[in-house]
Amino acid sequence: MIKPKLLLIVLFIAQATIAQTELFFKEYDWEQTPNYTIEEGTEDPIIALKDKITTEFYFEDDGLVEYYMEHKVYWLNSDEKIESFNKVYLPYNSTSELKISKARVITKAGEIIELDDSKILTAKDEETGRNYKYFAFEGVTKGSFIEYYYVVKRYPRYSGNRITLQTSYNKNNVEFDLFAPKNLVFEFKTYNNTPEVELDTIMEDKLHWQLNMKDVKGLLNEEFSAYDASKSSVIYKLDRNIASNVKDITSYSKVAQNIYNFYYAEISDKTTKQLKKFIEDATEKKNLEGEALIRKLEFYIKNNIYITEGSNENLKDLDEVIKNKVASEAGVLKLYIALFKQLGIKHEIVLTSDRQDLKFDKQFEANNFLTDFLIYFNTHKTYLSPVELESRYGFPPAYLTDNYGLFIKEVKVGDFTSGLGKIKYIKPIPAEKTVDKMILDISFEEDNIENCKVNLERSLSGYYGMYFHPVIHLIKQENKDELVESFAKRLDESVNIKSQEILNADPELFGIKPIVFALDFESEAFTEKAGRKYLFKVGELIGRQIEMYQEKERVLPVENEFTRSYFRTINITIPEGYKIANLEDINIKNTFNENGKDVLIFDSYYELNGNQLKITADEHYHKNIIDVVNFEAYRTVINSAADFNKVVLIFEPI
């Protein structure tokens, strides 16, 4: 067995005076003759009849450890679910010890088939080299129950841990229990309509908190939703040790100081010299400042420093990182901080969470909210992701924005410097910064109106441009050609492309100028002859659009990745001798107003000057998160583009 790491002596020094009690799992077992039943006629593919999670924090000779148990009973009623549960993986790794593992199948006829040790298998992940264990269930048929429970001894997770209690299927008898020595007091917070955790007032020999729910309804994963963050859950943390009178054991003030001590440690003259040389290489000895300097440093680092998941100490040693151009995530962040300090660029470290998985709770300090790093530049009100290679300055991973975070900045009082943490809101990047712009000039062959001639200019900036722009120099020419062609072929696979080019292709222009894809092509896919008239499918020129259907009542709020704008201009030269009979079909306008401002907009309209028709179809989403009560308004706006997509203009003889 590998022993857990020792905890801070100051935290648990008084434990010797606290009497230890019997561990919960010593007397725990499943029912020897279970009588699980399902209501006749139930058609659900799966139901959880029991979902019990218990954890106990316990002092042993080598410090505080945690014993974690899961006990599950599932009724499986479809081939798909039987297949998905034929292997159940256990949380076994090199730093944990599996104490108990039991599993059985209870057939529809009531026969109990207990898995022996030969069905509890160990396998090795060839990529990571890690071993893992799993239950291998066999002989499961529709209507059978599978049951298993295990207890694992592991390094204690006491500074913030989330237990998710809800999934896509219905659960019965959902239970969560936490046991701790009488001197260790935990705090809890529940989310998404979950009852509060209660303290057991009867138990005397240890502290016991519990949460019981008879039924937890399945939560369906709806389109454009923060599904995982919306599930019923509980988060717990160790708050105080009453024996040693230590309080706020899990607090952001401690995190801020620890982060500061690690990332702002004093560096040697030797390292300073290496940093100066690194800056010269990155900037090509140009005299840059402000945002231009930040962009240049980021571009150089993300193109020259390889980030690996290794645990070698050299990967976070500044001298070694600069020398070898290889770093861990901690090492590359350390490099950024050292560079910004050397150059006098004011900044703050930000720790936050992915709001799709877990929304940062500004009122409950727990370390499980601190999953992702950003760097904030207060002078410019901008962010940089130090480790996400797909992200670029000014456009951090979007799901980390529109969220709260812990901002840590260096403060100086006299000769003393320290890290000060403050929870602040991370604003989403404004919609006008992420733009998909289309300009189309349309004409028709004089002797063959069905042949449509198109000049397309598609420019992408912000998050849309970030898919291509920062890495465009790494793409092979043939793949670049395919990329440009795809903007036309999405409209018509058999399109005849006459010319194509990419403008503003320099990757260092990202965030400064949009990348532009320009094409000239011809197609007969958009115009049809109907007697003496022609039908021109103008709406299809903007490409296929999202159309949201909602057969059931919406449950979850809408949650988009980033705010954005679409500008579409279609200039049409109407064929000589024809007019358009249904111009009013172009006019579509739907908006959603909040606090006196239009936050969601679709607006298409036209201007006619002789035989020149100019169509504008603009779309703006200034807000990412829309409450359920406003879902229909959101759906109306987003479906407006799909409605425009169906607009067909009728050319009729004058």
Q: Which H, E and C letters describe 168-224, residue by residue?
A: CCCEEEEEEEEEECCCEEEEEEEECCCCCCEECCCCCCCEEEEEEEEEECCCCCCCC
Fill in the DSSP letter of residue 56.
Answer: E
Structure-block tokens of residue 166: 């809800």
Provide the 3-class DSSP secondary structure of residue 487.
helix
Residue 43, H or E segment: none
Q: What is the average pLDDT across 253-264?
A: 97
- Assign 128 a pLDDT band (cuts: 50, 70, 90): low
Burial zone of 550 (CB within 10 Å; 0-12 exposed, 13-18 middle, 19+ buried):
exposed
> What are the tens digits of pLDDT across the range 296-305?
999 999 999 9
Average the pLDDT over each of 84-98, 320-334, 623-637 and give the range with the smallest value.
84-98
Provide the 3-class DSSP secondary structure of residue 91.
coil
> What are the tens digits of pLDDT across the range 162-175?
999 999 999 999 99
CA distances to 306, 352, 393 from 302, rounded to whole Å, are: 8, 21, 11
Q: What are phi and psi of 85, to 5 degrees?
A: -110, 15
Q: What is the pLDDT of residue 118?
A: 81
Contact 418, 255 (CB under 8 A): no
pTM for this model (two decimals): 0.92
List domains and CATH numbers for the chain: 9-241 (2.60.40.3140), 252-426 (3.10.620.30), 431-653 (2.60.120.1130)
Q: Which residue has the tokens 């249904």?
A: 582
- Assign 372 a pLDDT band (cuts: 50, 70, 90): very high
For residues 317 and 328, give the distance between their C-alpha atoms in angstroms, rounded to a whole number. Answer: 9
Q: What is the pLDDT of residue 129?
A: 65
Q: What is the pLDDT of residue 2?
A: 29
Assign residue 420 a region (left: φ > 0; alpha: ψ between -120 and 50; beta: otherwise). beta
Q: What is the pLDDT of residue 10?
A: 43
- Assign 123 a pLDDT band (cuts: 50, 70, 90): confident
Contact 560, 599 (CB under 8 A): no
Q: Residues with Cβ < 8 Å from 44, sequence gap 6 or more?
A: 77, 169, 170
Whether the per-residue pLDDT at 319 is higher than 90: the answer is: yes
CA distances to 274, 332, 372, 382, 450 from 350, rounded to whole Å, are: 26, 15, 8, 12, 57
Among residues 29, 18, 27, the alpha carbon closest in space to that of 58 is found at 18
Structure-block tokens of residue 74: 């599932």
Contact 376, 407 (CB under 8 A): yes
Q: What are phi and psi of 13, to 5 degrees?
A: -65, -30
> What are the tens digits of pLDDT across the range 381-409?
999 999 999 999 999 999 999 999 999 99
Q: What are phi and psi of 184, to 5 degrees?
A: -105, 110
Across 61-70, 131-140, 183-192, 542-551, the highest mean pLDDT is recorded for: 183-192
Among residues 565, 562, 161, the alpha carbon closest in space to that of 355 is found at 562
Q: What is the average pLDDT across 364-373?
A: 98
Among residues 100, 93, 106, 140, the alpha carbon closest in space to that of 120 is found at 100
Q: What is the average pLDDT across 123-152?
A: 86
For residues 421 and 253, give the distance between their C-alpha atoms in angstroms, rounded to a whole number. Answer: 6
- Sign (positive or negative) of CA dihedral 243, 244, 245, 249: negative
- Assign 62 a pLDDT band (cuts: 50, 70, 90): confident
Give the pairing type, strands 597-609 and 612-621. antiparallel
Contact 572, 613 (CB under 8 A): yes
At residue 212's C-alpha, the angle toward residues 210 and 214, to 5°, is: 175
Structure-block tokens of residue 627: 């409450």
Q: What is the pLDDT of residue 19?
A: 59
For residues 509 and 54, give the distance between their C-alpha atoms in angstroms, rounded to a whole number. Answer: 53
CA distances to 40, 101, 545, 593, 597 from 558, rounded to whole Å, are: 36, 41, 18, 16, 19
Contact 394, 469 (CB under 8 A): no
Q: What is the average pLDDT across 416-436?
A: 97
For residues 540 and 86, give the distance between their C-alpha atoms in angstroms, rounded to a whole number. Answer: 46
Q: What is the pLDDT of residue 7?
A: 39
Q: What is the pLDDT of residue 12?
A: 52
For residues 295 and 379, give the distance between their C-alpha atoms in angstroms, rounded to a whole number. Answer: 15
Whether the per-residue pLDDT at 366 is higher than 70: the answer is: yes
Whether the per-residue pLDDT at 16 is higher than 80: the answer is: no
Structure-block tokens of residue 390: 């797909």
Whether the per-residue pLDDT at 584 is higher than 50: the answer is: yes
- Assign 139 a pLDDT band (cuts: 50, 70, 90): confident
Give the pairing type, strands 306-307 and 326-327. parallel
- Assign 61 a pLDDT band (cuts: 50, 70, 90): confident
> What are the tens digits of pLDDT across the range 203-234?
999 999 999 999 999 999 999 999 999 999 99
- Assign 323 a pLDDT band (cuts: 50, 70, 90): very high
Share of residues in the chain with pLDDT > 70 (%): 96
Among residues 181, 184, 210, the alpha carbon closest in space to that of 197 is found at 210
Whether the per-residue pLDDT at 237 is higher than 90: the answer is: yes
For residues 325 and 321, give the distance between their C-alpha atoms in angstroms, rounded to a whole number. Answer: 5
Whether the per-residue pLDDT at 17 is higher than 80: the answer is: no
Contact 330, 386 (CB under 8 A): no
Q: What is the pLDDT of residue 540?
A: 96
Bridge partners of residue 421, in order along the sequence? 408
Helix, strand, coil shares of the chain as percentages rounded to 5?
25, 40, 35
Whether the per-residue pLDDT at 119 is higher than 60: the answer is: yes
> What are the tens digits of pLDDT across the range 466-520?
999 999 999 999 999 999 999 999 999 999 999 999 999 999 999 999 999 999 9
Contact 353, 228 (CB under 8 A): no
Q: What are phi and psi of 359, to 5 degrees?
A: -80, 135
